[in-house]
């Protein structure tokens, strides 16, 4: 009987852990592998915005999945550039993860005070002075950075988790390259994912030792 009770306690303790280990629910971002680019050439990969052919675009010589990734080149000092995905079905109060894989360039590695960073920009619908529908940023949740130390020969995963503010209508999942001074170089990003967590807070608090 004693062993039976211990077994039940052990099993119930492990249920939340196994749920949290399965952070592979539905990816709410489409085309996170940057393979779908119906226009070819300098067209945006489907679903992704802010394409700038001078500083970023599709890489075909580096990829973690399929045959393409995104390259981001260092902007000029004190500037920033990046790509983003707008997701319009955000649920306020829900927790979201955002992750990608990044790899440094062997031929043109990141140098100086420059780094990549992922973030989530929480947005709200509003009207401008002419009554036109616009979207304004409420706040930004910042994720990990990756600078000159970023690995050259393997893809490194980066992940962040954040809760959507109460009045969020939509969010942009953003990958950027910052140059804070004397920056140079290039990095690649592939297999970008975001996920709405079912019971993130409960699982998280359980995992804190």
Binding-site ranges for Ca ion (CB under 5 A): 33, 63, 65-66, 68, 190
Tokens 């809760």 found at: 163
Shortest distance in whole angstroms from residue 70 CB to Ca ion? 9
Question: Within 10 Å of residue 75's Cβ, how many Cβ atoms?
Answer: 20
For residue 23, count CB atoms less than 10 angstroms from its CB and return exposed for 0-12, middle for 13-18, buried for 19 or more. Answer: middle
Nearer to Ca ion, 121 or 191 (CB): 191
CA distance linking residue 100 with residue 116, whole number of Å? 11
CA distance linking residue 33 with residue 67, whole number of Å? 9
Question: Within 10 Å of residue 137's Cβ, how many Cβ atoms?
Answer: 11
Shortest distance in whole angstroms from residue 33 CB to Ca ion? 4
Shortest distance in whole angstroms from residue 67 CB to Ca ion? 7
Identify any residues that bridge with 127 across adjacent strands, giving them in sequence order: 133
Q: Which residue is nearest to Ca ion (CB)?
A: 33
Nearer to Ca ion, 190 or 195 (CB): 190
Nearer to Ca ion, 64 or 122 (CB): 64
Nearer to Ca ion, 65 or 77 (CB): 65
Nearer to Ca ion, 68 or 119 (CB): 68
Find the angle CA(170)-CA(120)-CA(168) to the nearest 5 degrees. Answer: 30
**How many helices (H) and strands (E) in the chain?**
2, 10
Shortest distance in whole angstroms from residue 191 CB to Ca ion? 6
Shortest distance in whole angstroms from residue 208 CB to Ca ion? 34
Longest dimension (CA), the chain: 74
The enclosing H or E element of 45 equals: none
Nearer to Ca ion, 65 or 135 (CB): 65
Shortest distance in whole angstroms from residue 32 CB to Ca ion? 8
């Amino acid at each position: 009987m004693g062993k039976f009770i211990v077994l039940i306690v052990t099993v119930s303790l492990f249920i939340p852990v196994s749920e949290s280990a399965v952070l592979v629910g539905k990816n709410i971002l489409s085309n996170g592998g940057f393979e779908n680019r119906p226009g070819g050439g300098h067209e945006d990969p489907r679903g992704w915005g802010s394409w700038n052919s001078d500083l970023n675009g599709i890489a075909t010589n580096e990829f973690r999945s399929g045959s393409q990734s995104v390259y981001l080149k260092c902007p000029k000092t004190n500037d920033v550039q990046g790509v983003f995905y707008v997701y319009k079905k955000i649920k306020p109060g829900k927790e979201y993860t955002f992750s990608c894989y990044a790899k440094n360039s062997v031929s043109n590695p990141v140098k100086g005070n420059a780094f990549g960073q992922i973030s989530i920009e929480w947005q709200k619908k509003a009207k401008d002075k002419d009554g036109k529908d616009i979207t304004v940023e409420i706040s930004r949740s910042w994720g990990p950075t990756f600078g000159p130390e970023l690995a050259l020969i393997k893809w490194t995963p980066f992940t962040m988790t954040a809760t959507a503010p109460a009045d969020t209508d939509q969010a942009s999942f953003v990958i950027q390259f910052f140059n804070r001074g004397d920056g140079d170089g290039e990095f690649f990003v592939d297999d970008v994912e975001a996920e709405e967590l079912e019971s993130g807070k409960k699982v998280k608090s359980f995992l804190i030792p």
